[in-house]
Amino acid sequence: MAEFTEQLLRDSLERLGAEAERQARYVRDLGLWPSLDELALELDDVAGAAESWMTPEATARVRALSNKLGEMSGEANAHLWEPTALGGPEWADVRVLARQALAALDE
């Protein structure tokens, strides 16, 4: 089971850490465009289950990313989930945090 959740987590982190164009293509390919929610929902689906086998460092990195995405949610931040926001500073932060979490999985 850990291998399965690890692959799902890695896939989600890779997508969240990808450049804006790749993220947009992924959401389009899913048929969910223009909603970006799926990028965060995929992490939510697997992050909790992965905590049972992740190292403390990886857990902390994934939680930091989840917290950032949580800060971006809510009605007041709806604009951050529109396609034009992918090029903004919030999504740049998400990419950095996702790449750090992915790197922590490899340690």
Residue 84 CA to residue 10 CA, distance in Å, equals 25
82, 36 contact by CB (below 8 A): yes
Q: What six digits make up the tokens of 94?
A: 């998400």
Residue-range definition of the domain harbouring residue 77: 2-105
Q: pLDDT (tens digit, 9 = 90+) per residue, 39-79?
A: 999 999 999 999 999 999 999 999 999 999 999 999 999 99
Q: What is the pLDDT of residue 2?
A: 84
Give the CA angle between residues 66, 67, 72 to the nearest 5°. 95
Q: What is the pLDDT of residue 1?
A: 57
Q: How many domains does the chain have?
A: 1
105, 2 contact by CB (below 8 A): no
